[in-house]
Amino acid sequence: MYESKFLPLNSNDTTRALQRASAFKPKNPYFKVVMQPSYLGRNLVIPKDFVKKYSNILHGDVNFWVSDGSNWPIEFCKRIDENLICRFSYCWKAFAKDNNLEVGDVWPFELIEATKTFKVVIFHANEENCRAPYC
């Protein structure tokens, strides 16, 4: 499992979201993110070690399959230099808005390798925003 380089935000709600997310046990490779303020308006940076390990799969567009059944095509951007910065960008802002993502939410991204799809389960810090069975 890979985690975002950012530390969890200090809040009881985020702590509870992290606890709920720990119950999620994917069968495939995954990384986990705690929503940061910078992710809401721009893009989501993917953990570098995850990208290195799965670079043969991660290129072009990928899909997000959300536990409510919605499917989102998301552009995967990779800048190869000494920093190896990779992110989800195109359609990201619409995805974040439609799924009521807020600072402190926790979500694992499980890579389904054969289909270039990420199964996304959202654990909202504010439980009133929950729509998924894992919330």
What CATH number did the domain enclosing 30 receive? 2.40.330.10
89 lies in a domain? yes
Give 133 or 54, the one with higher predicted confidence.
Answer: 54
- 17 closest CA partner among 111, 101, 82, 83: 101
User: pLDDT tens for residues 58-105?
Assistant: 777 888 999 888 999 888 776 666 666 777 777 888 888 888 888 888
Average pLDDT over residues 113-133: 75
User: Is 135 part of a structural domain of the chain?
Assistant: no
Residue 26: the pLDDT is: 87
As a whole number of Å, the CA-based R_g of the chain is 14
Above 70 in pLDDT, residue 132?
no
Tally of structural domains, the chain = 1
- Check residue 7 and give its pLDDT: 45
48 vs 38: CA distance, rounded Å? 18
CB distance 64 to 135 below 8 Å: no
In a domain, 133, yes or no: no
84 falls within a domain = yes
Q: Does residue 72 fall inside a structural domain?
A: yes
- pLDDT tens digits, one per residue of 24-65: 788 999 998 888 888 887 788 888 888 888 877 777 788 899
For 15, half-sphere exposure in the C-beta direction (CA atoms, 13 angstrom radius) is 3
pLDDT at 28: 93
The pLDDT of residue 111 is above 90: yes
Q: Tell me if 132 is assigned to some domain.
A: no
**Which stretches of the chain are assigned E, i.e. beta strand?**
2-3, 30-34, 44-45, 61-66, 71-79, 85-88, 106-112, 117-120
Distances in whole angstroms, Cα of residue 80 to Cα of each of 12, 48, 59, 60, 85: 37, 11, 12, 14, 7
Residue 5 pLDDT grade (very low, low, confident, very high; cuts 50, 70, 90): very low
Determine the structural domain holding residue 98 and report its residue range.
2-126
